[in-house]
A and B are shown apart, each in its own frame.
Chain A
Amino acid sequence: MVSTQTTASADSAVSRGWQLPPNAKPILVAIAIAILVFFLAYLRTDGSSLILTQALVTGLMAGGVYGLVALGLTLIFGVLHVINFAQGALVTLGMYVTYVVANDLGWNPYLTLFISIPLLFAFGALVQKIMINRSMGEEHANTLLLTLALGLLIENALLLTFGGNPQSVRTGQETVYNIFGAVATQSRLIAFGGALILALLLFFMLQRTSIGTAIRAVASNPTGARLVGVNTSRIYVITFAIGAACAGAAGTLVAPIVSITPVAGEVFNITAFVIVVLGGLGKVLGALFGGLIVGLAEQFGGILFPDQSNLLGVFIVFVLILFLRPQGLFSSNS
C-alpha cells in the first residue's frame, strides 16, 4: 500500500510538471538569489573579476557533463519512476570501456563514444529487461535498492578485472584556451561541448521521432499510451537503455580528465540527483540547465564557504529548490 501512495504522489508531481504553465515568480526569485550570490562572491574574492570569471567558466564546463549524466537519470525517473542509483557506476563503466578501447586498440579516446554508447545502451536494455522490469510498480525502496546493488556489482566487477589502481587515458600535453581571461583545457571544452551536443540530439530525438513521442507519451500517461497502442514495456526498456547510454557517453567524455578507478563515477551520482530535482523530474532540457546551475553552485559555494565541501553549495541550492519549487525550475519545457 505504501507503494501505491508514493508512486501516486510521484506520478502527480511528474504529470503536474508536464502540464503546468510556466510560473515566473520562483524563477525571478532564483535569479535574484543568483545575483546575490554573485555579489557576495565578488566581495569574498576582494573584487577579483578573474576568479569569478574562472568560477563561471569552470562551473559551466563541469555542469555540462553533470547535465548529461542527470539527463539519463531524469529520463529513467520520468518514464519508469525508478531512481537509478547505478547511474554513477554506469558512468564508471563508460570510463573503463574508453580505457580499454583507447589503450588496447589505440583509438582516440573520444572516438570510443561509438563503442561506449551502443555498449551501455545494450547493457541498460539488458538490465531493465531481466532486473528492473520485474520489480517495477512495487515498493519504492525495491527498485532503489536493486539499482544500488547493481552499482555495487558493477564497481566490484571492475575492481576484479582492472584492480584498484587509478588508470589514465591522457594522450599528451593539454592545449589551454583563454576565455575572457579564464582558462579551460581542451579536454574539458570537448567534454562540455560533447555533453551539450549529445543532450540536444537526445532532446530532438524525443521531440521529433516517433520513438521519442512514444517515450513522452508513456511518461505523461502510461495507461493512455497503452490504449493508443504504445508498447509500454518496450518503451521502458528503451528508456532505461538511453539513460545508461547517457551515463556511458559522459564516462567517455570525462575519461581523459579524471583518474579512472572503479568508484570514479560516484562523484556524479549525488550531483545528478540534485540536478534531476532542480530541472524537474523527467525534464530533458531541465536536466541540462540544472547541470549548469549545479556546476556553478559548486564553484560559487566553494568561494563563499571556502572551508566546506563543494557539495554544500549544491545541497543548499537543492533544498531551496525543493521548498520553493519542488516541481523543478524548468517544468514548462517538456
Chain B
Amino acid sequence: MRTSQLAVGLAGLALVLAACSSGTDTENDAAGETATESAEEASTEEAPAESIDVIKIGSIHPLTGGLAGDGLQMDAGAKLAADDINAAGGIMCLDGAQLEILSADSTGTPEVGQSEAERLIQEGAIALVGPYQSAVASNMATVAERNGVPFVIDVAVSDDILDQGYTNTFRIQPNASAMGSQGALFLKELTDAEGIEVSKIAMLHEQSAFGTSVYEAFNKAAAGYGWTVEPVISYDAFGVTDLTTEMTTVKAAKPDVIVVTGYYGDGVLATEAISAVNPGAKLIYGIAQGAFDNPSYPGDVAGAGEGFFNVNYHLDVTNPTTLDIANRFETSYGEPMKTSATHSYEAVRVIANALEQSCSGDPIALRDAIAATDLESILATVGNIQFDETGENVNGSPIVMQVQDDAVVQVYPANIAEADPRFP
C-alpha cells in the first residue's frame, strides 16, 4: 500500500511540476520579449499597420545531426537575407519594419520540426522558411495549413509535399520530378547539339523517395525520346560503403550514358567506382547529384570527377547580385555559400517582397501576396519566381553544370552558361 500511495503523490507532483514549469516558461517568454507581444497583438487584433516595427520569420533547419552542414548554412542564408533587407530600410510600406529571423533546430526529425514550427508561430512568426528534408517539410506543411501561416520551402525535394492540396505552402526549389524530366530534356538537347548518339542509359540512384521520383520522371521522359533506361540500380545511401559491384553491372550493359542521382557521400563512392571500373560510357550525367556540383567535390575525388555533368538547382554565378551575396556570405560565415543557403536567402526575399505587396502583418494577406509573387530570382532559373496553384515555383528549374579543370562551372542553358560544355 505504501508504495502505491507514494506513487500517487509522486505522479501527481510530477504533473503539477510539469504544469508549473510550463507556466513559468510562458511568463518568461512574455517578460523577455515585449517586442514579440506588440507584433503578436498587431497580427491578431488586426491593428493598423504602422504599429508593426518587427516582423518575425521562423527559420527551421537541421542545425544538428548528419545534415547540420547544410542546415547551418541555410539558417545563416536566411539571416543574411533579413540583414540585407533591414540594411536597405526594412519593409518600406510598413514604415521600415525590420525583419527578425527566429531560428530553430529541426534536429532532422519531423516531430521536432513540427513542435518548433508551432512554437515559432506562437512566438509571433508570421511566416516560416525551411526545412531541407522532405519528411520534415510534410509535417511543417500541415502546421502551416492548420495555423493559416504561410510556409515557403527553400529546399525539400519530394513531389508529395505539395500534392496534398495545401494552400499555405510554397516551394522555391524544383521538385524531384521536375529535376528528372528537365534532366532528360537537357540531356536530349546537349547530345543532339553535339551529335552524340544515345540509345541506352544506365541509372544508379539512391532509393529513398527523392532518388526514386527523380528516376521515375527521368524514365518517363526518356521513353519519349526513344531511350532505354537499363539497368536501373538503386542503393541505400546511408548504408552503402562501396559501389564498385554496381558499377560493374552497369559496365556489363555497355550504356551510352550513366545517370547518377544521390547525395554527397554516395556520389563520391560512385565516382571512385567509375574511375576504378571504367565503364566506358560517353557521358557521366548526374541528376540532382549532391556531390557533382559541390565546390569541394573535384578536390575530394582528386580529379576523378573531371568532365562529369550534373543537373541541379543552383545559385546563378553569372548574376552579379548573386555573387555579391555569396561573397558577403563567405566573409561573414567563413564557408563558401552553398546553393541550399541561397534558397533560404531567396525564401526570405520572397516573404519580404510579399510583405511589401500586402502592406500588413496579417498572415492571410501575406499568403495571398506570396501566391501572387513575381520576383526576379538570384537563382539560376528560367524566369521570375512565380507560384502555381499548388505552390510550386513554375520557373524553378535546374541547370546543367560540369566539372572542368577541377572546378564546377555552369554550362547549360546558354543564358546562364559560364563555359561551353565539354564532351569527350
> In the complex, A touching B, CB below 8 Å?
yes
Which residues of chain A have a CB within 8 Å of any CB of chain B? Answer: 45, 48, 50-51, 54-55, 57-59, 61-62, 156, 159, 163-166, 168, 170-174, 176, 182-185, 188, 254, 257-259, 261-264, 266-267, 270, 299, 302-303, 306-307, 309-311
* A163 with B242, Cβ < 8 A, contacts A173-B302, A174-B304, A257-B272 known: no
Cβ contact within 8 Å between B272 and A48: no
* A163 with B302, Cβ < 8 A, contacts A258-B241, A261-B265 known: no
B61-69, B222-230, B281-289, B375-383: which lies at the interface: B61-69
Cβ contact within 8 Å between B207 and A174: no
Number of residue pairs A-B, CB distance < 8 angstroms: 124
A176 to B: closest C-beta gap in Å: 5
Cβ contact within 8 Å between A164 and B265: no
Give Cα distance in the complex from A259 to B69, angstroms.
Answer: 13
Cβ contact within 8 Å between A50 and B272: no
Cβ contact within 8 Å between A58 and B301: no
Cβ contact within 8 Å between B245 and A54: yes
Give Cα distance in the complex from A25 to B269, angstroms.
Answer: 39
* A302 with B245, Cβ < 8 A, contacts A173-B302, A183-B277, A267-B239 known: yes
Give Cα distance in the complex from A176 to B302, angstroms.
Answer: 14
Interface bits B264-277 vs A (CB < 8 Å: 1, else 0): 11001100100111
Give Cα distance in the complex from A307 to B206, angstroms.
Answer: 10
Cβ contact within 8 Å between B302 and A171: yes
Choose among B67, B238, B246 the residue that contacts A267 (Cβ–Cβ < 8 A): B238
Cβ contact within 8 Å between A166 and B265: yes
Cβ contact within 8 Å between B239 and A54: no
Residue B384 at the A interface, CB < 8 A?
Answer: no
Give Cα distance in the complex from A311 to B302, angstroms.
Answer: 29
Choose among A156, A171, A183, A266 the residue that contacts B276 (Cβ–Cβ < 8 A): A183
Query: Which residues of A sit under 8 angstroms from B236, Cβ to Cβ?
Result: 309-311
* A159 with B239, Cβ < 8 A, contacts A50-B252, A54-B248 known: no
Cβ contact within 8 Å between A163 and B69: yes
Give Cα distance in the complex from A50 to B65, angstroms.
Answer: 39
Cβ contact within 8 Å between A173 and B249: no
Nearest chain-B residue to A259 (Cβ)? B265
Query: Which residues of A sit under 8 angstroms from B242, Cβ to Cβ?
Result: 58, 61-62, 188
Residue B234 at the A interface, CB < 8 A?
Answer: yes
For the residues of A in contact with B, the DSSP-based class is: mixed
Choose among B235, B275, B299 the residue that contacts A174 (Cβ–Cβ < 8 A): B275
Nearest chain-A residue to B250 (Cβ)? A51
Give Cα distance in the complex from A188 to B303, angstroms.
Answer: 18
Query: Which residues of A sit under 8 angstroms from B235, Cβ to Cβ?
Result: 302, 309-310
Give Cα distance in the complex from A306 to B250, angstroms.
Answer: 13
Residue B233 at the A interface, CB < 8 A?
Answer: yes
Residue B244 at the A interface, CB < 8 A?
Answer: yes
Give Cα distance in the complex from A174 to B300, angstroms.
Answer: 12
Cβ contact within 8 Å between A159 and B248: no
Cβ-closest 6 pairs across A and B: A164-B69, A164-B68, A309-B236, A165-B69, A54-B248, A168-B300
Cβ contact within 8 Å between B248 and A50: yes
Choose among B69, B71, B302 the residue that contacts A166 (Cβ–Cβ < 8 A): B69
Cβ contact within 8 Å between A58 and B252: no
Give Cα distance in the complex from A89 to B78, angstroms.
Answer: 31
Interface bits B314-346 vs A (CB < 8 Å: 1, else 0): 000000000000000000000100000000000
B340 to A: closest C-beta gap in Å: 12
Query: Which residues of B sit under 8 angstroms from A182, Cβ to Cβ?
Result: 248
Query: Which residues of B sit under 8 angstroms from A310, Cβ to Cβ?
Result: 235-236, 239-240
Give Cα distance in the complex from A311 to B246, angstroms.
Answer: 15
Query: Which residues of B sit under 8 angstroms from A307, Cβ to Cβ?
Result: 207, 234
- Apart from A51-B245, A270-B239, what are 6 other A-B pairs with CB-CB below 8 Å? A57-B244, A159-B68, A261-B66, A261-B69, A267-B238, A306-B234
B322 to A: closest C-beta gap in Å: 21
B356 to A: closest C-beta gap in Å: 34
B289 to A: closest C-beta gap in Å: 13
Query: Which residues of B sit under 8 angstroms from A170, Cβ to Cβ?
Result: 300-302
Nearest chain-B residue to A260 (Cβ)? B265
Query: Which residues of B sit under 8 angstroms from A163, Cβ to Cβ?
Result: 68-69, 72, 335
A165 to B: closest C-beta gap in Å: 4
Give Cα distance in the complex from A184 to B245, angstroms.
Answer: 10
- Subset of 17 A-B contacts with CB under 8 Å: A48-B249, A51-B248, A51-B249, A61-B242, A163-B69, A164-B67, A165-B69, A165-B335, A166-B69, A170-B300, A173-B302, A258-B269, A259-B265, A267-B239, A267-B240, A270-B239, A311-B239
Interface positions, chain B 253-273, Cβ under 8 Å from A, are: 264-265, 268-269, 272
Cβ contact within 8 Å between B66 and A54: no
B71 to A: closest C-beta gap in Å: 7
B58 to A: closest C-beta gap in Å: 21
Cβ contact within 8 Å between A54 and B244: yes
A27 to B: closest C-beta gap in Å: 26
Residue B362 at the A interface, CB < 8 A?
Answer: no
Nearest chain-B residue to A312 (Cβ)? B236
Cβ contact within 8 Å between A173 and B234: no
Interface positions, chain B 48-97, Cβ under 8 Å from A, are: 64-72
Query: Which residues of B sit under 8 angstroms from A270, Cβ to Cβ?
Result: 239
Give Cα distance in the complex from A274 to B131, angstroms.
Answer: 34
Cβ contact within 8 Å between B300 and A166: yes
Cβ contact within 8 Å between B276 and A185: yes
Interface positions, chain B 182-225, Cβ under 8 Å from A, are: 207
Cβ contact within 8 Å between A264 and B265: yes
Query: Which residues of B sit under 8 angstroms from A176, Cβ to Cβ?
Result: 275-276
Give Cα distance in the complex from A266 to B277, angstroms.
Answer: 27
Cβ contact within 8 Å between A173 and B265: no
Give Cα distance in the complex from A166 to B68, angstroms.
Answer: 10
* A58 with B244, Cβ < 8 A, contacts A163-B68, A310-B236 known: yes
Cβ contact within 8 Å between B64 and A159: yes
Instruction: Indicate the member of B68, B241, B248, B269 with the most A CB atoms within 10 Å.
Output: B241
Choose among A156, A185, A259 the residue that contacts B300 (Cβ–Cβ < 8 A): A259
Query: Which residues of A sit under 8 angstroms from B248, Cβ to Cβ?
Result: 50-51, 54-55, 182-183
Cβ contact within 8 Å between A299 and B300: no
B62 to A: closest C-beta gap in Å: 8
Query: Which residues of B sit under 8 angstroms from A263, Cβ to Cβ?
Result: 65-66
Cβ contact within 8 Å between B264 and A166: yes
A325 to B: closest C-beta gap in Å: 25
Query: Which residues of A sit under 8 angstroms from B71, Cβ to Cβ?
Result: 164
B299 to A: closest C-beta gap in Å: 7
B50 to A: closest C-beta gap in Å: 42
Query: Which residues of A sit under 8 angstroms from B244, Cβ to Cβ?
Result: 54, 57-58, 183-184
A275 to B: closest C-beta gap in Å: 14
Query: Which residues of B sit under 8 angstroms from A55, Cβ to Cβ?
Result: 245, 248
Query: Which residues of A sit under 8 angstroms from B234, Cβ to Cβ?
Result: 306-307
Give Cα distance in the complex from A184 to B303, angstroms.
Answer: 18
A271 to B: closest C-beta gap in Å: 9
Query: Which residues of A sit under 8 angstroms from B66, Cβ to Cβ?
Result: 164, 261-263
